[in-house]
Amino acid sequence: MLQFKLVLLGDSSVGKSSIVHRFVKDTFDELRESTIGAAFLSQSITIHPNDGGEVKDVIIKFEIWDTAGQERYKSLAPMYYRNANAALVVYDITQEDSLQKARNWVDELKNKVGDDDLVIYLLGNKVDLCQESASTEPSPESNKGEDDEQKVRVISTEEAKQYAQEQGLLFREVSAKTGEGVKEIFQDIGEKLYDSKKDEILSKQNRQINGSNNGQVDIHLQRPSTNDPTSCCS
């Protein structure tokens, strides 16, 4: 089993927590251990990488760290994204400024984490709100209101996609409400991380198998903890 840490970033109203709740519930499987906590969730998936013609099953466990999206809690984020293998940066396709906020997170991750292996996934949430509204005229009032109401897309797929390409991010539009695209996010990340860590994983497995006759292999691929004993309140 491979284990990866994934951090969720995005403004407070974009529905980032709902995406992972949806994921953990939809992939619920009695045989697999999963956690749904206040702000920490974990779930495993199976990917089927093709290594030199041989397709195998690889179980990947995600530990998902949620962050508080309000502006005032922005400064706490580094405590959450340290040692992360992947980041989901979420915006709301019906909220004008939420993509800009997502961009700020991407910049911060690139500057502060400085790890080329960190997988960043840009996610446009709430496609369910405007799937049939393509023909209706955009009106400013319809931007406000409850979730059930039809809203108008203000961030085009092309705009976000182009930005993601420029920055080398994975990109997808999803709906936490209907579940559209949600499972795929985690498949994509799992495959991408497996791919980038393949050599490391295989050599670790070989070492472990040779080193002990214990068949069970658990590998934590979190980067070495930089937890510094004085990190609290410094």
Partner 1 sequence: MTEDKNGETLKEFDPLNRLEPSTNGNSNTDVVSMKDDADTQAAEETNANIFAQDTGDEEPFYDFQLFVKQLQSPEADPLVKYTKSFLRNFLAQRLLWTVSEEIKLINNFKSFIYDKFTLYEPFKSLDSSKTRNAQEGIEKLIMGKLYFRCFSPSLYESLQVSLDDEHMKDLNYDDTLLEKIEHYRFIKPVMLDIPETMPHAKLNKFVHLASTELSKINRFKSPRDKMVCVLNASKVIFGLLKHTKLEQNGADTFIPILIYCILKGQVRYLVSNVNYIERFRSSDFIRGEEEYYLSSLQAAINFIMNLTESSLTIENHKCFEEEYQNNSKQVAKEREEEEKKRKLEVPDELQSNGTLLKPLDEVTNIVISKFSELFSPIGEPTQEETLEPEQSKKEEDVTFLIKKIEENERKDTLETLQNMFPDMDPSLIEDVCIAKKSRIGPCVDALLSLSE
Q: Which residues bind partner 1 (CB under 8 A)?
A: 8, 12, 16-18, 20-21, 35-40, 42, 63, 65-70, 72-73, 75-76, 79-80, 214, 216, 220, 225, 227, 229-233
CB of 92 to partner 1, least distance (A): 13
Q: What is the DSSP letter of 32?
A: S
C-beta closer to partner 1: residue 95 or 152: 95
Torsion of the alpha carbons at 127, 131, 136 and 138, rounded to the nearest 10: 10
CB of 233 to partner 1, least distance (A): 5
Structure tokens at 108: 């911060």
CB of 35 to partner 1, least distance (A): 6
Closer to partner 1 by CB, 164 or 185: give it: 185
Location of structure tokens 């340290």:
82
Q: Do 19 and 129 contact (CB within 8 A), yes or no?
A: no
CB closer to partner 1, 23 vs 164: 23
Closer by beta carbon to partner 1, 3 or else 143: 3
| Length, in residues, of the chain | 234
Contacts (Cβ under 8 Å, ≥6 apart) of 155: 91, 93, 94, 95, 96, 98, 99, 124
Burial class (CB in 10 A: 0-12, 13-18, 19+), 103: middle
Q: In the complex with partner 1, which residue's Cβ is closer, 89 or 164?
A: 89
Residue 198, SS3 per DSSP: helix
Rounded least distance, CB 63 to partner 1, Å: 5
In three-state secondary structure terms, 24 is: helix
Q: Least separation, in Å, of the C-beta of 97 and partner 1? A: 17
